[in-house]
Amino acid sequence: MAGNQTPLIGVLALQGDVREHDETLRALGYDTVLVRTPADVSRVDALVIPGGESSVIDKLSRIFGVREPIVSRIQGGMPVLGTCAGLIMLAHTISGGIHDQQTFGGLDITVARNAFGSQAESFEADLIVDGVAAEPIHVAFIRGPVITDVGRGVEVISTLPSGQIVGVRQGALVGVSFHPEVVGETRLHRWFVESLVRDAMANR
């Protein structure tokens, strides 16, 4: 484990936009490690699960032996931020998942994969994310999922003008449908570390 004063933030480095998340966190001054092994999972104070292909992340997590350690750490209260495919990996239930697709779980939600269509239909938007900033943050949607159902313990922190749910929090877990890291937006990462991660470290 990292020390109580300086959090060590892991970025799950199996597939997806790993570099963008790592660079965003490092630009904010945080210590990071690329997580590929069970030993990596055990030493981090928090984890970021990047966007990419959720089915591939699922398969590789089992091949690399990190699935069960991640599930255990989530159940033990480790803060996790999941973006796009990372949100899918945190959901309890997937609509439109491939056969035998598994998730890490933790968020009592249902998500629909690829709800915004193909990559050619990607778009950018300015969204309010409750608790992160008073002003909207600029984000990108790239074949993102939509949250179609939330459980009692889940707080909705961001929606589109259409009312579609694109951001939730449950305890120390945060899942969003969008990518802040690919457009240079840093406020979500800073809030995650300065609020959720530091609070979790102070209370353990």
Average per-residue pLDDT for the chain: 93
Q: Does the pLDDT value for residue 2 go beyond 50?
A: no
**Within a 10 A sphere around the Cβ of 23, how many other Cβ atoms?**
14
Q: Which of 20, 21, 84, 189 is catalytic?
A: 84
Is residue 120 over pLDDT 60? no
β-pairing verdict for 173-176 and 137-141: unpaired
Confidence of residue 58 (pLDDT cuts 50, 70, 90): very high
Report the C-alpha gap between 56 and 124 in whole angstroms.
25
Answer yes or no: is pLDDT of 146 > 90.
Answer: yes
Q: pLDDT band for 149, please (50, 70, 90 cuts).
A: very high
> What are the extents of the domains in the chain?
8-202
Query: Which has the higher per-residue pLDDT, 85 or 97?
Result: 85
In the chain, pLDDT over 90 holds for what percent of residues? 85
Bridge partners (DSSP) listed for residue 3: none
Marked catalytic residue, from 20, 21, 181, 185 = 181
Enter the tokens of residue 100. Answer: 């035998």
Instruction: Give the model confidence (pLDDT) of 155-173 as tens digits.
Output: 999 999 999 999 999 999 9
The answer to whether residue 187 scores a pLDDT higher than 60 is: yes
Residue 126 has pLDDT above 70, yes or no: yes
Of 2-16, 45-59, 121-135, minimum mean pLDDT range: 2-16
3-state helix/strand/coil string of the chain: CCCCCCCEEEEECCCCCHHHHHHHHHHCCCEEEEECCHHHHHHCCEEEECCCCHHHHHHHHHHCCCHHHHHHHHHCCCCEEEECHHHHHHEEEEECCCCCCCCCCCEEEEEECCCCCCHHHCEEEEECCCCCCCCCEEEEECCCCEEEEECCCCEEEEECCCCCEEEEEECCEEEECCECHHHCCCHHHHHHHHHHHHHHHHCC
pTM: 0.94
Thinking of the domain 8-202, which architecture would CATH place it in? 3-Layer(aba) Sandwich (3.40)
| pLDDT value for 98 | 78
Question: Catalytic: 23?
Answer: no
- Contact (Cβ atoms closer than 8 angstroms) between residue 129 and residue 137: yes
Cα atoms in the 13 Å half-sphere on the side-chain side of 37: 4
Query: Active-site residue among 21, 23, 124, 179?
Result: 179
84 catalytic, yes or no?
yes
